Structure 1
Amino acid sequence: MGKDILPPSDGDDNIVPVDLKAALEERYLAYALSTIMHRALPDVRDGLKPVHRRIVYAMSEMGLRPNSAFRKCAKIVGEVMGNYHPHGDQAIYDALARLAQDFSLRYPLVNGQGNFGNIDGDSPAAMRYTESKMTAVAELLLEGIDQDAVDFRDTYDESNSEPVVLPGAFPNLLANGASGIAVGMATSIPPHNAHELCDAALHLIKHPDASVEKLVEFIPGPDLPTGGIIIDSHASIVEAYKTGRGGFRVRAKWQTEDLGRGGYQIVVTEIPFQVQKSRLIEKIAELLIARKLPLLEDIRDESAEDIRVVLVPKNRTVDATLLMESLFRLTELESRLPLNMNVLSMGRVPKVMGLGEVLTEWLQHRKEVLVRRSRFRLAAIDRRLEILGGFLIAYLNIDEVIRIIREEDEPKPVMIDRFNLTDNQVEAILNMRLRSLRKLEEFEIRTEFDNLTKEKAEIEALLASDDKQWQTVSWEIGEVKKKYAKATELGRRRTQFADAPDADVEAIQQAMIEKEPVTVVVSEKGWIRALKGHISDTSSLTFKEGDGLKVAFPAQTTDKILLVTTGGKAYTLGADKLPGGRGHGEPLRIMVDMENDQDVLTAFVHDPNRKLILASTSGNGFIVAESEMIANTRKGKQIMNVSMPDEAKLVVTVLGDHVAVVGENRKMLVFPLVQLPEMVRGKGVRLQRYKDGGISDIRCFTIADGLTWEDSAGRTFTKNKDELVEWLAERASAGRTVPKGFPRSGKFLG
């Protein structure tokens, strides 16, 4: 005995060298195929993965029809695991529980009794506590399973057989959707409305080449168990269905409730599909604590059977649409449902299919099921007609038949010879009961014979005609459509369609920032910080050694801060994103991509309605609208074109109708503002001509009010229009020496 099981001892250890790469490829491919075929991807024909198909079939075999009693889920799980699905009981029970959840499946396949989980994400009770049976939808999927409608295969231990696919009289793949992650591919199909699917299928039967655009007239988009509002454009929905890949943006459904005296609250009644309500509320509460939702005061969950989440605005002046738009951006009150119709075509080939292809394959399957059931019925009729024919011969010769049975030792061959009967017919006659010899029985047999003959002719006509087959398939689909029509509670459309309101993006971003006063401080060496509150006295500010104050100004956290560099670039920073006032702040260079040879020229609060004059050292300048200076990236935006040694030197607000320019040579020129061009980017035009040196300062003013400045002692000087005549000239002139009392610094102080 022992010698037989020992390997032959021919000197080596019988080790076979295997190429690791080839072995891994082969085994990983086997694993991948197994996952794709037998776990993760649904079959296009019945829309089920193997585990769901086995659960439904096992329940059918256990007799758990919609009109029967409930059975413990533990019993069903045991049956599925023992006979069909050799995997973990918890995995099977999770799949079973999901089939019973009306918030997960649009048309549940299992009718559950007990705790099967809820939309808050709580788990179902243990399987020993819950009970279930099939729903009418599951019964439709199985219709004809005992009439050779589909192929069967051996189960994992070859002790039983299971269906390869279910007959699928219900358009389950699209009606209930599917999701799964295989190896190297995934599937994600949202649920749809059965009534609409049946309409589209009936149209496809009449017009097999119907376009996706036409089908979308019947199926405008998904119909989710939890309702919600789809805000995608018609064009993007058509494109998604055409290619089988895309997505849908789903928003919560909400309305305002008037509380009287101008107050209101927002009530959310439907949330997006597969979003856990409790997690959603936690997230909103976290954002509220983190002060990311300044328009929202409080959130309450008042849900019972129906969803009711109450959002309390900060005050009665808050715009409800703006508040909801900020929530849609930050939370799962708006979520994206992916569409990836990657399914097993004909149960074998994984491929991404468009809407038309999916429906066409389902219709082909329905036609094949009809043909197979018809052939099965035809074979049954033939067998019955054969036996009825034998009975009729026996009735016509009843006395002779009785004599043969009584007198012959072997009546069977004698009867076969005597009446030219078949083996089956003689067996049926010999097994006939005496009570069947009534006269009435002969009449009933003739009636049954005639009816079956007529039915046989109808089935043969059906099998011979493609048109008749499609007519029958249409009738069957029409019956499903009636049962799940939109007029019924289960069949009504739950998800609506709407265009997203055109909300002001700027306003939404502002709504997501808590408005607080801050003082922005920029140092000479380019460090920036935001101190809380508006600080008028900047003398107490501390800086790193060798550094000092460049500019400080009040702002709100909702403001945008514009920085202009000596290189003529503009950068934009959100005041809420600036480092706090502790310490010395942070270097600007880590926040924006500033060149090393450039410094900050100035910083100020952005005003989109304002215009500025930009001037360079050499005396060139132009007007630019502040709205054109906003840069949305770290790289900033080049506004003034300068090259070393020339640099951007002055940024002045545009006011009035004239411009006064002072050079380092202490010459002043006044010219009309209209002589300056407005540009988005450029070098600008010459403001004042210099032999040597450059520009010192610039000021805009209204000539009727005169030009005002202060000297270093704080005295105010004003030159009126008549007094300014000698300095008034065309732009780019050299100008005249500054008037008496003009500050030595060459700057318009005050």
Structure 2
Amino acid sequence: MSSETPPTDPGDVRAAQVTNARIEDEMEQSYIDYAMSVIAGRALPDVRDGLKPVHRRILYAMHEAGVTSGAAHRKSSSIVGETMGDYHPHGDSAIYDTLARMAQDFSMRYPLVDGQGNFGSVDGDPPAAMRYTEARMSPIAEELLADIERDTVDFESNYDDRLEEPAVLPAAFPNLLVNGSSGIAVGMSTNVPPHNLGEVIDATVELIENPGATVEDLMDHVKGPDFPTGANIVGRNAVHEAYKTGRGRIRVRAEFEVDEEEGRIVITELPFQQNKSRLVERIAEDVTDGTIEGIRDLRDESDRDGIRIVVDLTRDAVADVVKNQLLESHLERTFGVINLALVDGSPQVLDLKETLEHYVDHRREVVRRRSRHELTEREDRAHILEGRLKALENVDDVVETIQDSDDRSAARAALEHDYGFSEAQAEHIVRMQLGSLTSLETREIESEYAGVVDRIERLETILQDADELDAVIVDELESIKSAYDDERRTSFIEDTGTVTHEDLIPEAEYVVTMSEDDYIKRMPLETFRAQNRGGKGVIGADLKRGDRVSSVFVANSHDYLLVVTNHGQIYRLKTYEIPELSRTARGKSAVNLLDLDDGEEIEAVVNTADLDDDEFLTMVTRDGYIKRTSVEAFENIQSTGIRAIRLEDGDELVDVEVTDGTRHIVIGSRDGMAIRFDESDVRPMGRTARGVIGMDLEPGDAVAGVAAIDEDRHNWVLTVTENGYGKRSDLDEYRPQSRNGKGLVDIKTGSRNGSVVAIEAVTHGDHLVAMSGDGQIVRTRIEEISTVSRNTMGVIVMNLEPDDEVAAVDIVPESAYADDA
């Protein structure tokens, strides 16, 4: 039986080296490792110098190669090659793209590379190939590397352990805020805007001198981002939010001028990182497809002196509307601030104070290490000078001792033994030349020694006194500010809100019509030129068979309207929300705009632009009731409307006027009666009240409308009948009565005139817009209608076709049509 141990099965050996692991755990750990590599090694800047590894390595490679601001430019391919070969093995294209960006004055607020050649443009043109361009460090970039040889920062091995590279640069100014940074890591991103150097340094000095300064205190110095392309920041609230929380959304608007005399808009500055060429193309595309109207030509006249894009407007264009259209889609962008940076290797979102605090801490460490390094050098030098001075005091004996020695080693030993020199001092003395023993040389050594001793004392003070160390930092910051500071490029403008759809609608007067079948539309007022009295007018609506016009009114496109219906409901509507259609169009169904019930029709429209809180809506019903309600009761109107008056069965709301408590009220009936009384006779009531009797109607009669007359504004009472007749009468023709009376005869009705359709208060310059049930519209000057007494027949206002009748009227004040007259 053999005593030897049987050989081990190779399979068993392999099995012993296998560790079981859950695949989800392995994937999780591997992904975390990858994510942290991207976060720390590529995508995020260090809060101390504001640089990502690739930026830092390019600058350090240029520094080591001597490609400084005072040296000649060197081929970019050479710089890229040295950076890639020694420090950054990630491909030449990535390195060159970074190098090119650091040379672009439209990308960097203070470029770190001085480029020569084509390094790209604001039009999005790529840089020329690296073999054609040349570069060197810019002067301000050298401030980031100043004192790097003086043990100011830690160094680490490069990727192949052949060389060492700095883990961070000394950074004599807060580069993270000054030049900003952007990058996308795994699960996070950074987007720090650039700032004005002088403002950031002032804030840094403030924080050093007043550590208790708040973010608000620092914002007294840092007004906001300062983009290399200028433009305007809209409002300050978003900037303050970004500085306080590290996150925010800042609206940046192009700089432009609207020249109404020349009929053009000139754009001179663009938001940061906006592609100029693509902007011009997109505007042209929108003009071509009709998204933007009013532009006849678009030119890019930019040159080396700056951006200039000229937008020529059509003759009938409204400059403000075109401007707002451009703002909505092209001339305003949002810069999302994410102040994320690496703090001790970990990503953190920082507010303004925290960002500067980390920089100041870094700068203190740099100055402290630099001072220690210099102190050691100075102490070593002082030690040597002390030896030289001691040797000069005993020059004859020292020379004799050296002469009597067999060799240098013996001489050094003798000096150390006989005179107490240190090894370093003895070595230096042995190597001294005889020429240094002159009296002049002695005075120079004494002077140098005194200076070295003073400097040692100063360095010891800096290292022992924190205030002195901070004073050094402040002095150096102020020096950099004086050398590189410039004026802000980005301005602030007032935040008037974002461009809304309303801003894109030209202001104009429109005639709005509605039919009994709830078809509604608007048409430009100038479509209907004023005619002489008695004209037929022009077609205003092509109604379907059996449909009739129920109401017509005139409003500005930007007016907020209170739409009052015969059911006593009030709806709110913007004029521009009503479809704009041609005269011959039928209109669109009103159910898309208003939640109307069956049989509910618009009877009156009130323009909210004319309303004050101390005014009233004065309403009259078909059966003669009148009610006044404060306009404050109608501030919050839902899409389903709000009740304005409680109606009795069979009664309907007929008309509404805006009053102020001092008006004369004239109610007209369909049979031609009218009653006048003071508005104060009707006490104010709530929305759900029915009101009081305003006019005692004869059986079969009904209210046609109400006029609220201001004696300082209105001259006449206008009455229009369904057969197209009308008249003007002086207010004095209607003697005041108490409400609830039968009134006086206003106009004779009958087979010729027909019933009264409307009663209105009018003045000089007003126009009457009348629409027939079949869709004809006529616009007539008020002065065309004769002024006659009450109880008369009136004159023809609108010449109607057989079986047609006036359905609705509205009064247009002179101010509304002055531009198209």
SS of residue paired to 2:473:
helix
CA distance 1:700–1:350, change in 2 (3 Å): same
Match of residue 343 from structure 1: 341
Map 1:571-586 onto structure 2 (within 5 A).
Answer: 571-575=572-576, 578=579
How far the C-alpha of 1:328 sits from its partner, in A, is 6.6
Aligned counterparts of 2:651 and 2:339: Cα–Cα separation in 1: 59
Distance 1:299 1:521 in 2: 38
Return 5+ residue gaps in structure 2 as ranges: 1-6, 529-536, 710-714, 758-804, 807-821
Aligned residue identity for 1:155: N
- Against the structure 1 CA distance between its residues 254 and 319, is the aligned structure 2 distance closer, same or farther, given a 3 Å change threshold? same
The answer to whether the Cα contact below 8 Å between 1:614 and 1:622 also exists between their aligned partners in 2 is: yes
Match in the other structure for 1:463: 463
Residue 205 of structure 1 is matched in structure 2 by 208
- The answer on 1:365 being equivalent to 2:371 is no
**How far is the alpha carbon of 1:739 from its aligned partner?**
10
CA distance in 2 between counterparts of 1:126 and 1:5 reads 60
Partners of 2:418 and 2:69 in 1: how far apart?
52
Deviation of residue 104 (structure 1)? Answer: 1.6
Distance of aligned partners of 1:720 and 1:276 in 2 relative to their CA distance in 1, 3 Å threshold: closer
Partner of residue 488, structure 2: 493
Q: Distance in 2 between matches of 1:667 and 1:319?
A: 46
The counterpart of 2:328, out of the listed 327, 330, 334, is 330
What SS is found at the alignment partner of 2:178?
helix
3-state SS of paired residue (2:195): coil
Q: Check whether the contact 1:513–1:576 (CA below 8 A) recurs between aligned residues.
A: no
Change (3 A) 1:740 1:406: closer
Q: Which AA in structure 1 matches 2:487?
A: R
* Deviation of 1:18 (Å): 1.0
* CA displacement, residues 408-465 of structure 1 (integer Å, 9 cap, x when unaligned): 8x988787667666665666677x48x5676349746666555434433332232222
Match of 2:153 in 1: 150
Instruction: Please state whether the residue corresponding to 1:218 is helix, strand or coil.
Output: coil
Contact 1:560 1:605 in 2 (8 A): no
Instruction: Write the distance in 2 (CA, Å) between the matches of 1:683 and 1:329.
Output: 47
**2: CA distance, partners of 1:693 / 1:160:** 110
CA contact (8 A) 2:181 2:190 kept: yes
3-state SS of paired residue (2:704): strand
Tell me, in whole angstroms, the C-alpha distance in 2 between the residues paired with 1:82 and 1:646: 94
Query: Any idea what SS the aligned residue of 2:475 has?
Result: helix
- Aligned CA distance change for structure 1 residues 10 and 83 (closer, same or farther; 3 Å): closer
Counterpart Cα distance in 1 of 2:686 and 2:365: 69
The equivalent position to 1:16 in structure 2, one of 10, 15, 20, is 20
1:9-33 C-alpha deviation (Å, 9 max, x unpaired): 788995734162x555544444444
The C-alpha deviation readout for 1:234-268, integer Å capped at 9, x for no partner, is x775565344444544444445779xxx6575544
Secondary structure of the corresponding residue to residue 103 of structure 1: coil
- The partner residue of 1:699 within 696, 701, 705 is 705
Distance 1:82 1:719, change over 3 A: closer
SS of the residue 2:183 aligns to: strand
1:129 is aligned, of 108, 125, 132, to 132
Give 1:367 shift: 1.9
Is 2:731 aligned against 1:730? no
Amino acid at match of 1:601: I
Show the counterpart of 1:64.
67
Between 154-163 and 61-70, the greater mean CA deviation after superposition: 154-163
Partner residue, 2:677? 672
Question: Structure 2 matches for 1:531-546, cutoff 5 A?
Answer: 534=527, 541=542, 543=544
Bigger CA drift: 666-675 or 328-337?
Answer: 666-675
Q: Secondary structure at the match of 1:227?
A: coil
Instruction: Give the root-mean-square deviation of aligned CA atoms.
Output: 5.2
Partners of 1:42 and 1:729 in 2: how far apart? 83
Deviations 1:19-50 (A, max 9, x none): 62x55554444444444433343222212222
Bigger drift between 646-655 and 36-45 goes to 646-655
Distance 2:729 2:312 in 1: 58
Counterpart Cα distance in 1 of 2:426 and 2:478: 45
Query: Within 2, Cα distance between the matches of 1:137 and 1:219?
Result: 20
Q: Separation in 1 of the partners of 2:109 and 2:369?
A: 30
Deviation at 1:96, TM superposition (A): 1.6
Contact 2:675 2:744 in 1 (8 A): no
- Specify whether residues 451 and 708 from structure 1 end up closer, same or farther in structure 2 by C-alpha distance, changes over 3 A only: closer
Q: Is the 8 A contact 2:246 2:351 kept in 1?
A: yes
Shift of 1:112: 0.6
Cα gap change, 1:366/1:697 in structure 2, threshold over 3 Å: closer, same or farther? same
Overall identity of the aligned pairs, in %: 33
Q: How many Å apart are 1:67 and its aligned residue?
A: 0.8
The answer to whether the 8 Å contact 1:571/1:630 transfers is no
Checking the alignment, whether the CA contact within 8 Å between 2:623 and 2:702 is kept in structure 1 is no
Aligned partner (choices 484, 507, 513) of residue 505 of structure 2:
513
- From the superposition, tell whether residues 540 and 377 of structure 1 become closer, same or farther in structure 2 (CA, over 3 Å): closer
Match of 2:197 in 1: 194
Shift of 1:349: 4.2
Note if contact 1:149-1:369 (Cα within 8 Å) is conserved in structure 2: yes
Native 8 Å contact 2:513 2:522 kept in 1? yes
Match of residue 109 from structure 2: 106
Q: For the residues of structure 1 that align with 2:356 and 2:155, how far apart are their CA atoms?
A: 24
Inter-partner Cα distance in structure 1 for 2:15 and 2:649? 88
Structure 1: 5+ residue runs without aligned partners? 486-490
Q: Name the aligned partner's letter for residue 700 of structure 1.
A: V
What per-residue deviation string (whole Å, max 9, x for no partner) do you get for residues 659-712 of structure 1? 44669xx99784536245678955451446999999954323599978856477
After superposition, give the CA deviation of every residue in 1:253-299 in whole Å (9 maximum; x if it has no partner).
Answer: 445779xxx65755443333333333333344445456666665544
| 1:199-598 alignment runs, 5 A limit | 199-233=202-236, 240-255=242-257, 263=262, 266-289=265-288, 298-305=297-304, 306-314=306-314, 322=320, 326=324, 329-345=327-343, 347-385=344-382, 397-401=398-402, 403-406=404-407, 432=431, 439-440=437-438, 443=442, 448-449=448-449, 451-485=451-485, 491-499=486-494, 512-513=504-505, 522=514, 524-528=516-520, 534=527, 541=542, 543=544, 548-551=547-550, 558=557, 564=564, 566=567, 568-575=569-576, 578=579, 587-589=589-591, 591-592=592-593, 594=595
Q: Give the structure 2 partner of residue 685 of structure 1.
A: 691
Retained in 1: the 8 A contact 2:68–2:137? yes
Local SS of the residue matching 1:397: helix
Q: 1:11 to 1:648 in 2, by over 3 A?
A: farther
Distance 1:593 1:59 in 2: 70
Q: Which deviates more, 107-116 or 470-479?
A: 470-479
- 1:690–1:99 Cα change, 3 Å: same
Please tell me the residue identity of whatever aligns with 1:513.
Answer: I
* DSSP 3-state at the match of 2:571: strand
SS in 1 for 2:118: coil
For 1:555 and 1:618, the matched residues in 2 are separated by 27
Q: Give the Å deviation of 1:737.
A: 13
**Amino acid paired to 2:739:** E
In 2 relative to 1, CA 199–27 (structure 1 residues): closer, same or farther, beyond 3 Å? same
